[in-house]
Structures are given as C-alpha cells and as structure tokens.
Amino acid sequence: MGGDIWATGAQIRAARALLNISARELANKTKLSRGTIQRAELESAQVTASNIARIVETLEALGVIFIPANGEGPGVRLKG
C-alpha cells in the first residue's frame, strides 16, 4: 500500500472473503488473536495501528490490493 497503512473493517472482511480464508486462518497467518482480527473488522479503537498494518500486509502478501477512497469509497480487489 505504501505510506500510511490503513484499512476499514469492511475492507478487511472483503479481503478475507476474496481469499476465502477464515478469521482464524488470518489470525494464524498474522500471529494475532482471532479476537484482534474480529475487532479490526469492527473497527474497534482497541486495535493498534501496528496490528492493522500486520493484517493489511498479510492480506496483501496473500493476493489482495487495498484501494483508497477515490470518490466512490475505499475497496479491495484481487491482484491481477
């Protein structure tokens, strides 16, 4: 993503859906708890920026691209 790491909870959920992985699988891959993944997806203030960065970086390594808000809102897609 470059620069600041950011992602909405909806983007994280959509990225998992595109990759067909569960919250538990993402937790294992990021070495975070499943609760942390769930809180990130709910955009809880209890999730640190470094944990969001770890989640985003892992999802990107698995094959998704996070799209910033561009007039139509943020999104996510599979790498082409």
pLDDT digits (tens, 9 = 90+) for 43-79: 888 899 999 999 999 999 999 999 988 778 889 999 9
| Per-domain boundaries in the chain | 9-78
Tens digit of each residue's pLDDT (9 = 90 or more) over 10-21: 999 999 999 999
* pLDDT of the residue at 76: 95
Whether residue 40 contacts residue 10, with contact meaning beta carbons closer than 8 Å, is answered with no
* Token duo for residue 9: 């909870």
10-38: average pLDDT: 97
* Range 1-27 average pLDDT: 87
pTM of the model: 0.89
Specify the fold of 9-78.
Answer: 434 Repressor (Amino-terminal Domain) (1.10.260)
48 neighbors 20 (Cβ within 8 angstroms): no
